[in-house]
Homo-oligomer: A and B are copies of this chain.
């Protein structure tokens, strides 16, 4: 065990990370700096201050990172129509690099030599926190208590609290969810409990951010989303900051039963894992961004983006936001977005979101050419013959030489 003087801990104010504060103090004899961020998880962060103080913490950071989160992480990611394994909108993954960055900034400000977090040794989050930390400050030390200690059950944690006189909020304890949850402005996730059986349907009362499609209104809601350079900037004509806009979409989506997802995904550390997610606003954004791109992006640019996307999604899922390869891909993605401006009209209804209209000053849709009616010579149908003949040439030569395709 290397000598550690001061450690910055990603601190939620909950039971687990409170235990970690004391455990770090005891085990490493070091000072603990707590860092609590509001990234839209929907809980007050200010109460963490008193709890940290009660644990003897002297340097306490409490930051509202909601705008930075959406502007610098969520929106850039959505420019790529990013989906992991065809389904997952990366709600947890995309928050981690921001936390990692802030942990390192605070370590630099406070002269800490280590960071710590409350992620387990089986999950992706430890990887995302630590890869980010190492990439931004290579000499930093990382303490991952869940990989070190033996407090690997709720009972042992409670016992530790009692022994070390850590005040536990028992009311909170009672209503403890059976699920492991994580929330931020983009989504809330559920793992564990009955979900560990992939055949079992998630129970209705698990979901927290959205009504069920069944309980959603019987009439559709229509909204218009305005885009500038690939990012949404206004809802129904009202300009909103990134975080405010996403918050509003979450409400609209949640009220219409939109954004629930139940999947089995492949973790970077090697196992499959069942997760349920609610991403109401993100689900709307995904549909809307594709729709505005559909009229403004060149075909080959769109296809190139589609081919690069799975790899970009994998980078983010695996924790490589802070990497040169992500920045290289981002350069390509961002380069494509200057023309992605305009409006998308969307229908939200009982769990579905559909794009029903799209328009743009930068539209490449050319009604004169696309029309089934007379196009007044805008397109010469005879060109198609040569186009087909030369595209077929290699196939004709091969067939002529006796190559069989059937």
Which residues of A approach B to under 8 Å, CB–CB? 81, 85-87, 101, 120-122, 126-127, 130-131, 134-139, 142, 144, 146-147, 152-153, 180, 191-193, 196-202, 213-214, 218-220, 260-266, 269-274, 290-291, 294-295, 298-304, 306-307, 310-311, 314, 320, 322-325, 327-329, 331-332, 334-336, 339, 345, 347, 349-352, 354-359, 362-367, 369-372, 374, 379-401, 403, 405-406
Verify A349–B351 contact, CB threshold 8 A.
yes
Please report the C-alpha to C-alpha distance between residue A329 and residue B199 in the assembled complex, in whole angstroms: 31
Which residues of B sit under 8 angstroms from A303, Cβ to Cβ? 85, 266, 310, 314, 325
Residue on B nearest A258 in the bound complex, by CB: B352
Among B213, B300, B385, which residue has its beta carbon within 8 angstroms of that of A144? Answer: B385
The interface centre, meaning the residue of A198, A335, A339, A350 with most chain B CB atoms within 10 A of its CB, is A198
Verify B274–A370 contact, CB threshold 8 A.
yes
Residue on B nearest A366 in the bound complex, by CB: B397
Verify B384–A383 contact, CB threshold 8 A.
no
Which residues of B sit under 8 angstroms from A301, Cβ to Cβ? 324-325, 328
Verify A357–B394 contact, CB threshold 8 A.
no
Among B152, B218, B358, which residue has its beta carbon within 8 angstroms of that of A198? Answer: B358
Which residues of B sit under 8 angstroms from A192, Cβ to Cβ? 371-372
The interface centre, meaning the residue of A350, A362, A367 with most chain B CB atoms within 10 A of its CB, is A350
Number of identical protomers: 4
The verdict on A365 contacting B274 (CB below 8 Å), with A200-B357, A394-B299 known, is: yes
Which residues of B sit under 8 angstroms from A134, Cβ to Cβ? 388-389, 392, 395-396, 399
Which residues of B sit under 8 angstroms from A311, Cβ to Cβ? 304, 307
Verify B262–A355 contact, CB threshold 8 A.
yes
Which residues of B sit under 8 angstroms from A137, Cβ to Cβ? 399
Please report the C-alpha to C-alpha distance between residue A78 and residue B191 in the assembled complex, in whole angstroms: 29
The verdict on A298 contacting B270 (CB below 8 Å), with A199-B359, A386-B387 known, is: no
Among B263, B363, B372, which residue has its beta carbon within 8 angstroms of that of A191? Answer: B372
Verify B384–A138 contact, CB threshold 8 A.
no
Verify B351–A126 contact, CB threshold 8 A.
no
The verdict on A369 contacting B405 (CB below 8 Å), with A264-B294, A349-B213 known, is: no
Which residues of B sit under 8 angstroms from A357, Cβ to Cβ? 198-201
8 further A-B contacts with Cβ under 8 Å, apart from A272-B366, A324-B336, A364-B398, are A122-B384, A198-B359, A201-B356, A266-B299, A266-B302, A324-B405, A339-B403, A380-B389
Residue on B nearest A219 in the bound complex, by CB: B214
Task: Give the Cβ gap from A301 to chain B, nearest Cβ, in Å.
Answer: 5
Please report the C-alpha to C-alpha distance between residue A136 and residue B396 in the assembled complex, in whole angstroms: 8
Please report the C-alpha to C-alpha distance between residue A260 and residue B347 in the assembled complex, in whole angstroms: 12
Which residues of B sit under 8 angstroms from A270, Cβ to Cβ? 299, 390-394, 397
Verify A294–B271 contact, CB threshold 8 A.
no
Please report the C-alpha to C-alpha distance between residue A356 and residue B307 in the assembled complex, in whole angstroms: 29
Please report the C-alpha to C-alpha distance between residue A329 and residue B339 in the assembled complex, in whole angstroms: 16
Please report the C-alpha to C-alpha distance between residue A125 and residue B267 in the assembled complex, in whole angstroms: 25
Please report the C-alpha to C-alpha distance between residue A198 and residue B269 in the assembled complex, in whole angstroms: 34
A-B contact pairs, 25 of them (CB 8 A): A85-B290, A85-B306, A120-B381, A135-B392, A136-B405, A142-B388, A192-B372, A201-B357, A213-B350, A262-B355, A262-B356, A263-B291, A263-B294, A263-B355, A270-B394, A272-B294, A272-B299, A298-B325, A303-B310, A327-B335, A327-B405, A332-B335, A366-B400, A379-B393, A383-B386
Residue on B nearest A121 in the bound complex, by CB: B381
The verdict on A122 contacting B379 (CB below 8 Å), with A350-B349, A389-B387, A395-B135 known, is: yes
